[in-house]
Amino acid sequence: MTSNGATNKPFSIEKRRVYEAYKAVKSNRGAAGVDGQTLEMFETDLAGNLYRIWNRMSSGAYFPPPVRGVSIPKKTGGERILGVPTISDRIAQMVVKQMIEPELEPIFLPDSYGYRPGKSALDAVSVTRQRCWKLIGSWSSTSEGCSTIFRMIFC
């Protein structure tokens, strides 16, 4: 997994990047996918499995397998289906994430919060709350502002 030399592959993916993606997936742990392969089973032929992922991705021949559906209870009752990808697919997804995130992250607007590193839905709610209070404060400095806010909230 140490060779980073040029290949005749249509996509330039370093073998080292696949290994780094594997380490990230391993640190996240997680359940087996539709193939039933656990992380421990994947590691019994780690070099061969990582090579297969690299070879298929760099050749453009990688196709993700189906995900395993797992029912998760909702807090409000009922269930939702969570898709659990295979270990190999999680590694392939991590390779793509690690390759495109540095390129795409700078072009997002500062107010984009969905699926961004270091940002969450709670961050978005917090910023929204701060902006609302700031807006309410500037409106409430006049009697007209107070009546406008009252109409917005209660009418």
pTM of the entire predicted model: 0.74
Q: How far apart are CA 96 and CA 21, in angstroms?
A: 9
pLDDT tens, residue by residue, 22-44: 999 999 988 999 999 999 999 99
Same domain, 94 and 128: no
- For the cut 50, the answer to whether the pLDDT of residue 1 exceeds it is no
Judge whether 113 lies within some domain: no
Q: How far apart are CA 41 and CA 27, in angstroms?
A: 16
Same domain, 139 and 83: no
- For 70, the enclosing helix (H) or strand (E) is strand 68-73
Same domain, 45 and 23: yes
Same domain, 19 and 94: yes
Judge whether 74 lies within some domain: yes
Same domain, 96 and 130: no
pLDDT tens, residue by residue, 93-151: 999 999 999 998 889 888 888 778 888 888 888 888 887 777 766 655 555 555 555 55
Judge whether 4 lies within some domain: no
Judge whether 3 lies within some domain: no
Judge whether 112 lies within some domain: no
List the domain range (segments joined by +) for residue 75: 15-107
